């Protein structure tokens, strides 16, 4: 990945920040996207100092109207050809759907889905013209399941899985690979933002660093769907298909309520 430009959304913390560090360690350049300018600037300074790469930051709320065209214009003005797109930005919320704020659900769909497909659509033509590229989508093991208490979040990640698999097939002869990283619980800001602090679900959560390193390697190997929490591979791949959806929902309802 030396000298290749990676654009990472949600880069100011968690998995996105760790993905940036992995890419920088391999000699790649970075465009870092998030809302928080101070965190982006601190990460930029660290990466330039420790790895001597080129780093651009673009603080923006990607759900704002016109955000994606602004971002694309920024990369064009900088003369950057994005070789690696990492759609990592996203958030969840905990609670019964009927009791939740519809605006928060809509914003979640915008960030987790709409932004992802718009940015991917904008950058694919350049990758196709060069005959190479990587598209990396941060999904979740939640995408394999119905998710009572996080109905909208689980549904957005199911979309990301389906979209990734379809796009990977469409682009199979283009030189562009498409990968979905599917972690289980990860120690990031997600727990706090989703309102799940104090629950047992994140007690044994993987670190963002290990999740990012495993996901990056899977992208390099051009895996389409990659479950980074290895103990979850067998139940999700080989047991889940035989469990009725209603039972799956009941299990997730109880687990998340703990």
**Segment-wise mean pLDDT, segments of 10 residues, the chain, 258 residues:** 94 97 98 97 98 98 97 97 98 95 98 98 98 98 96 98 98 98 84 56 81 98 97 95 95 86
| Cα(45)–Cα(178) distance, integer angstroms | 30
Cα 19 to its chain centre, rounded Å, is 10
Return the pLDDT at 187.
78
The label of the residue with tokens 């790649």 reads 28
Structural domains in the chain, sorted by start: 5-257 (3.40.50.720)
For position 133, what pLDDT does the model report? Answer: 98
* Residue from 51, 153, 169, 216 carrying the catalytic annotation: 153
Query: Which residues have a Cβ under 8 Å from the Cβ of 16 and sit 6 or more positions away?
Result: 8, 9, 10, 34, 86, 88, 89, 138
From the number of C-beta atoms within 10 Å of its C-beta (0-12, 13-18, 19+), residue 102 rates as exposed
Residue 153 is a catalytic residue: yes
Cα separation values, 213 from 24, 34, 220, 225, Å: 12, 20, 11, 15
What does the pLDDT read at residue 109? 98
């Amino acid at each position: 990945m030396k000298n290749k430009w990676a654009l990472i959304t949600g880069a100011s913390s968690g998995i996105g920040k760790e993905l940036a560090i992995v890419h920088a360690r391999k000699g790649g350049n970075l465009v870092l996207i998030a809302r928080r300018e101070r965190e982006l600037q601190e990460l930029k300074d660290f990466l330039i100092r420790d790895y001597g790469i080129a780093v651009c930051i673009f603080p923006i709320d990607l759900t704002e109207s016109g955000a994606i065209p602004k971002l694309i214009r920024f990369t064009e003005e900088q003369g950057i050809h994005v070789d690696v797109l990492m759609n990592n930005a996203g958030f969840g919320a905990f609670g019964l759907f009927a009791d939740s704020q519809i605006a928060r659900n809509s914003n979640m769909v915008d960030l987790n889905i709409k932004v992802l497909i718009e940015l991917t659509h904008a950058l694919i033509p350049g990758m196709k013209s060069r005959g190479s590229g990587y598209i990396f989508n941060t999904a979740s093991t939640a995408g394999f399941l119905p998710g009572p208490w996080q109905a909208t979040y689980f549904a957005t990640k199911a979309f990301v899985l389906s979209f990734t698999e379809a796009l990977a097939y469409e682009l199979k002869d283009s030189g562009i690979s498409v990968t979905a990283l599917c972690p289980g619980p990860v120690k990031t800001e997600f727990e706090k933002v989703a309102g799940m602090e104090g629950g047992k679900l994140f007690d044994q959560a993987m670190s963002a660093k290990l999740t990012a390193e495993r996901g990056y390697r899977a992208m390099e190997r051009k895996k389409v769907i990659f479950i980074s929490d290895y103990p979850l591979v067998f139940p999700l791949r080989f047991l889940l298909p035989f469990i009725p959806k209603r039972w799956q929902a009941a299990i997730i309802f109880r687990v998340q309520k703990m």
